[in-house]
Chains A and B, each alone.
Chain A
Amino acid sequence: MTTFGRTDVQPVIQVRDLTMTYGDVDVLRGVDLDIHRGEVFALLGPNGAGKTTTVEILEGFRQRSGGKVSVLGADPERGGDAWRGRIGLVLQSWRDHRRWRVAELLTHFATYYPDPRDPAELLTLVGLTDQAGRQVDRLSGGQRRRLDVALGIVGRPELLFLDEPTTGFDPQARHEFHVLVERLARDEGVTVLLTTHDLAEAERLADRIAMLVGGRIRDCGTPAELARRAAAQAEVRWTADDGTPRRERTEDPSRLVWELHRDAAGPIADLEVRRPTLEDTYLHMVHREADGTGGDDGTDRDADEEAPAA
């Protein structure tokens, strides 16, 4: 995985101090993001962390409360048709056009774009050639999602939003989907913003991952960087003389263990040194947030907001 050092080029997505407030609750509290051309970027976080809100602001579907946002050089709140034509969306809840045939639908949506992909080639790309004449209603969940991807890229977007794209996929479908996304990014230079709460998927696909917890980016970097940072603090566990279990986090576990031995002048009961994985760190962050120690009730708030306003 390469790190993109193109500071000279304007990022595809640039976000500065983005805030979102519903009523008196802050859902986003100063989010900064830079996503570069050709990058697969994963926005990772538990449900209610503000992922959906962030992405919908970037897609131009929501008005932000504050901060600066630029997507493909424009403010999403004022993006016109030409801007829309450069963006592709794959949402998880689309169930539209049930009566249409697969090829018919794809061919129709190609007519909206100035330089669309060839629908037949696109069907091959997403592996739906055999289903071309089938009614959308009769597709399996995985096929439906692949059709959504085809519809998302029919206009040759420069930027593709994927919203929890593999929820409900079987392992085979998930693998095929990952290969497809990698191909789009690598061969066609499409920038991909992926939202997911699946760490494994983010690690597999993303050049960089941002962890959004409680309305803030808690960490951001390549999967390797995040893993290194996560492992920087090792956890040492042991049982003290009085029989109570003890644990301590330290950057220098070797030193701590040496000190323990020196002080005890002998063996230490139940001594254990653990390097946390990225997953441990992620779960730790999410857990801390859910306990409420990480901030206010931003977690529940997003769920409330998602309920349809009357």
Chain B
Amino acid sequence: MNTTLTARSTPLQRIVRFWNKHKWSYFFIFPSMLLFFLFIAYPVAQAFLLAFQKVDLRGSAWVGLKNFQDLADSRLFWDSMRHTFIYAFFVVAAWITSSMLVASLIQPLSNKIQSLFRGAFYLPNVISIVVISLVWIWIFEPDYGFFNYLLGLVGLPRVLWLQDPDIALWSIVLSTILIVPGSGVVLYSAAMGSIPREYYEAADVEGANALQKLINITFPLLKPTTLYLTVIYTIAGFQIFERVYIMTGGGPINATTTIVQLIFQTAFSDFNYGRASAQALILFAIIATFSILQFKFLSTDVEY
């Protein structure tokens, strides 16, 4: 009797039953999904459309690939690509090295001292980049800045850290890599702590030296952490904006313009929204490509 009733239920009944069964699930996800579709999914779709339009404050018109062609012909675009790649490459390399180095130095110390050092290395990372960049402008100041004071102490001529077009980008790189990334130190340190002691003891028995242990045990087992950090640091590196905006504004003579700085200028100084969207999509493509490549080449199934 019951089964026939269910089988014969009308579409309306089925909807009511579905609703009664799932209404709370949809209620729980509704606010987040609303924000997600309104402020992420829809704007992303919009960005893809805008990139093929000429958009200004008066209206928009389809222009096909013109925005991308203009970028291909733009010297400034290629320069900003080059600056961004240089910045990302050196920052990722330096950050991975320094955080791995610091984590391995911390490893033999007692737990208390370990967490003290981890805290010390993490602290600068909670401060806003705006604040950090303002300090660096002062450290790089030509006449009274700390760096030129140090150069003066050892009898070297002063350097125009942020004013010399040949140096400014490297100064921004330097300002980034001199602060050890706290996230890397914490994660490497956690990963090193979870490598079983027996591996090292077995290596000791076989007479391996410290370097051999590092190359044959530590590095391979740290690979998942290295992969994760490389991906997030590469993404962060390509998105560099605040340092450039505050420290040089992209100058002198565009010597430090990066992709995001260029997007910002194109959209909010030139009001060329279509072109800015094309730039943003290229940034997206670069970041996606690098993330996928890194997963492909660095991933392993390390289990321990």
A and B co-occur in one complex: no
Question: Residues of A at under 8 Å CB distance from B?
Answer: none
- B binding-site residues for A, Cβ under 8 Å: none
